[in-house]
Amino acid sequence: MSEALAAEAASYGVKVTIAEPTQCRMAMGTTPPTRSAPNPAYDTLRAAFASAAAQAAVPDPPPEAAAPALLKPVDAEHPPLRVVFRSQVLPVIRHVYAERLATRADWERLSQEAEGVPA
């Protein structure tokens, strides 16, 4: 949806950047949030996230570091369509995009069939 907005707004000189933040340290008020009881079906996933967080090479950045970084694309003459605000996730993103490209290549023939190109 954001990509469609960027394409439509470009003809009016409006630039759109999709900010892809990840986690950062935050103090959301003085009272801890109310939480529901954890669903046991997600115990394995929660454990995996906790393990990954414990092994993180870079601690969660302070939220005050995000504001100046967020403004850089705003002030840029040619801002990126997408920007990630955590370098630690870039290898994961690269892997996900590589898998998407490979899957699309594997299924390219189906795209051609959908256009009426004979097999």
Q: How do residues 24-39 score in pLDDT, each as one tens digit?
A: 555 555 566 677 888 9
Burial grade of 85 (CB within 10 A; 0-12, 13-18, 19 or more): middle
User: In residues, how long is the chain?
Assistant: 119
Q: How do residues 81-104 score in pLDDT, each as one tens digit?
A: 999 888 778 888 899 999 999 999
What are the structure tokens assigned to 19, written together? 């900010």
- pTM score, whole prediction: 0.58
- The residue ranges of every structural domain in the chain are 1-25+45-85, 87-119
Could you give the C-alpha distances from 72 to 29, 68, 98, in angstroms and in order?
28, 7, 27
Identify the CA nearest to 24 among candidates 70, 86, 83, 74. Answer: 86
CA dist., res. 88 & res. 86, Å (int): 5
